[in-house]
Structure 1
Amino acid sequence: MADDIWEIVEGWNFFAKDTICKQIVRSADSIGANIAEGVGRGSFQENRRFVKIARGSLNETQHWLRRAYTRNLLTTEQISAIKTIINELAPKLNSYLNSIGNVPDD
């Protein structure tokens, strides 16, 4: 999804790139980066913490997608394609979180 978003935003004008583009790319990239970091931490508790951060980044990405669509930076087709990915990713992320143990938070 992050790469799909990157390809879409490359064609935006400077103002859109300098504002929404930076935010949406960072939040989308953060999803996978936090999952990877959590796995690398080596403990269930740390992994769960970073998966929760990834889930937050997914929600942030959805926010920026809505803003971009409202501001006519994304087409209905682009939103539809990304929404399909999000609708698959969100439950998988929750399932992954539930699968890595039930260690209580600090």
Structure 2
Amino acid sequence: MTSYRDLIVWQKSMSLVTLIYKLVADLPVNEKYGLIPQIKRSAISIPSNIAEGYGRNYRKDYSRFLQIARGSLFENQTQLEIAVNLDFVKVNDLEEIKELSVEVEKMLNSLIKKLEE
């Protein structure tokens, strides 16, 4: 692997960001300063931390950044659930995002575990 761009988990998390940005475009305008930027920020944080961690020279640093990415993923999952609870989004509209989110979660868990061995 020559770049973080070669990591499937990074590629999938980038796809997740794209899907999330498309989803939040339809959220109520009054959430422009509330839930929308929170959802976007946590989504962007996932591939960003994967990339930053990859660029570190130490396994321990890389593992820590992957843990931060996982935390951002959990934060994002929670924010999307809040959007559903507030009837801003229908559960059916989140199916693809949820599937991809779980896939990224599993990949992050696996990579973290591998680095910590």
Asked if TM exceeds 0.5, the reply is yes
Contact kept in structure 2, 1:24 and 1:61, CA below 8 Å: yes
* d(CA) in 1 for partners of 2:20, 2:32: 12
Pairwise CA distance, 1:75 = 1.5
Pairwise CA distance, 1:13 = 2.6
Contact kept in structure 2, 1:9 and 1:17, CA below 8 Å: no
- Post-superposition Cα deviations, 1:71-99, rounded to whole Å, max 9, x if no partner, equal 11112222222111112111111001122
Aligned equivalent of 2:62: 47
Instruction: Select 1:21's aligned residue among 36, 39, 43.
Output: 36
> SS where residue 100 of structure 1 aligns?
helix
* d(CA) in 2 for partners of 1:19, 1:47: 31
Unmatched segments (≥5 aa) in structure 1: none
- Post-superposition Cα deviations, 1:33-54, rounded to whole Å, max 9, x if no partner, equal 0010000112101101100101
2:99 pairs with 1:84: yes
TM-score (norm. length: structure 2): 0.81
Contact kept in structure 1, 2:27 and 2:89, CA below 8 Å: no
Cα RMSD of the aligned pairs, angstroms, is 1.2
Question: Which protein, 1 or 2, shows the higher relative CO under an 8 Å CA cutoff with sep ≥ 6?
Answer: 2
Unmatched segments (≥5 aa) in structure 2: 1-15
TM-score (norm. length: structure 1): 0.89
Deviates more, 1:93-102 or 1:21-30: 93-102
